Structure 1
Amino acid sequence: MSGASFLAITTIYAETGSGFVVPSASAKAGVEAMNKSLAAEWGKYGMRFNVIQPGPIKTKGAFSRLDPTGAFEKEVIDRIPCGRLGTVEELANLAAFLCSDYASWINGAVIRFDGGEEVLISGEFNSLRKVTREQWDTIEGLIRNTKGS
């Protein structure tokens, strides 16, 4: 296949914004918009532009600076439905796929790669995942005994 594949790595807060990362969030949001625009403009020449937004991936560099004591790692993992941090190897596999001919029809995509963290923390009712089986049984009983619903 002719053409080229370009891949940018940004972050999940490029889309949503976040406290304490204004310069980074702004710059990475710009990178995402640029890649989408380039995909539209240069796709006709066989050029593909995609973005990966990694969530928490334990790397020596990031975690040694952001969580040097390891105090926040469990809190981070608790926000991820998959129940673990991502790995560098998983990120590399996704990047290799997006740059390969197997992904030749993927262009202008921004792929969230976060174990489901974003959908868990942004959902209105996601805190219900902490409800115990006994509590669910009580709720179900109350609902079934309510007339007209």
Structure 2
Amino acid sequence: MAKPYIEPPAVDSTTVFKDDIFRGKVLFCTGGGSGICKAMTQAVIKHGASAAIVGRKLDRLEASAKELSTATGNQCIAVQADVRNPKQLQDAVAKTIEKYGRIDFVICGAAGNFLAPISKLSENGFRTVIEIDTIGTYNTIKATLPHIRASKGSYIHVSATLHYRATPYQVHVSAAKAAVDAISAVLAVEEGPQGVRSNVIAPGPIAGTEGMDRLSAKGPQGSQYSIHSPVGRDGSVQDIANATVFLFSPAARYITGQTLAVDGASEHLRTLQLPYPQSVLDPDSVTHLIKPRL
């Protein structure tokens, strides 16, 4: 039998796009202190932008901001805020404007998730994910929109592919991300005449991230079960970063109101990681496969 093709690792965006395409631009990113959003931020400032990363844990943010500045040679500041709190976000935007004088790009990336069936999911757990992902996205848009209008800028909302088909143990994030997709589409239509673009990036399984570690079913000795995609490799944060550079770049000026799944087509082959229907008939029997909620 012929061996399947394996796609090479993601290239660095600087091998495709000019180093200075975002020179003079400013990025405001929620959730930028770690994981996918940190990689997205690094890619944008690597091409000349300055950035403000926003999150709840200031010490973690400051460490990430210093790391990003050192790695790229461009400015990145840490601004503490909880996206569930409109006033804190407004203050974060004000500090960004005070520092840089403008905002051109916004990444709405703050998110929360864990594995739980509806029967075991508390009302508070469901509400918390909605508040962080959906209401947090809305609050971020409200706080930044006047500045994005002024700069004729662009939004990218970090979503997921979970709600494209029913995913057990993910009702909370499926509801939250479906709403994020809808918000982005409406924003694109309402604000297009103001010169504002809005798109969604929907990552598939991305190796080496906290989300993948927390949400993957665990095999022997805590190992993760592999997620296979037609391209023959796991997704990486660099894949998401490259999509970010493209969507913010002048090459994507006619692209708005769209959702870009960056998943190696894994959604079309998606199989359940937890045994079905055992996992929904007897949730207690699969708890050893799930990382405890943090």
Q: How high is the TM-score relative to the length of structure 2?
A: 0.38
Moved over 6 A (4+): none
Which of these residues, 222, 225, 242, is aligned with residue 72 of structure 1? 225
- Structure-2 residue corresponding to 1:106: 255
Return the structure number with greater helix share: 1
Which of these residues, 77, 87, 92, is aligned with residue 236 of structure 2? 87
Deviation at 1:36, TM superposition (A): 0.3
Name structure 1 gaps, 5 residues minimum.
Answer: 123-149
The superposition leaves residues 51-100 of structure 1 with CA deviations (integer Å, 9 ceiling, x where unpaired) of 01110111241233234522412xx12xx111111110111010111011
SS at 2:190's partner residue?
helix
Query: Relative to structure 1, is the Cα distance of residues 64 and 117 closer, same or farther in structure 2, using a 3 angstrom cutoff?
Result: closer
Letter in 1 for 2:174: A
How many percent of aligned residue pairs carry the same amino acid? 34
- Structure-1 residue corresponding to 2:180: 31
- Structure-2 residue corresponding to 1:7: 156
Q: Give distance in 2, aligned partners of 1:17 and 1:34.
A: 20
Q: Give distance in 2, aligned partners of 1:106 and 1:99.
A: 10
Q: Give distance in 2, aligned partners of 1:6 and 1:71.
A: 33
Which of these residues, 161, 164, 167, is aligned with residue 18 of structure 1? 167
Q: Give distance in 1, aligned partners of 2:238 and 2:174.
A: 25
Q: Give distance in 2, aligned partners of 1:51 and 1:62.
A: 18
Q: How high is the TM-score relative to the length of structure 1?
A: 0.72
Q: Give distance in 1, aligned partners of 2:211 and 2:244.
A: 19
Larger radius of gyration: 1
Deviation at 1:43, TM superposition (A): 0.6
Letter in 2 for 1:24: V
SS at 2:206's partner residue?
coil
The superposition leaves residues 103-131 of structure 1 with CA deviations (integer Å, 9 ceiling, x where unpaired) of 11000000111101122349xxxxxxxxx
User: Do 2:239 and 2:262's aligned partners in 1 also have CA atoms closer than 8 Å?
Assistant: no
SS at 1:8's partner residue?
strand
- Structure-1 residue corresponding to 2:81: none
Letter in 1 for 2:204: G
Deviation at 1:46, TM superposition (A): 1.0
CA RMSD of aligned residues (A): 1.7
- Structure-2 residue corresponding to 1:43: 192
Q: Give distance in 2, aligned partners of 1:21 and 1:111.
A: 20
Deviation at 1:4, TM superposition (A): 0.9
Q: Give distance in 2, aligned partners of 1:17 and 1:113.
A: 19
User: Greater RCO between the two (CA within 8 Å, min separation 6)?
Assistant: 1
SS at 2:160's partner residue?
coil
Letter in 2 for 1:90: D
Q: Give distance in 1, aligned partners of 2:203 and 2:231.
A: 14
User: Do 2:201 and 2:259's aligned partners in 1 also have CA atoms closer than 8 Å?
Assistant: yes
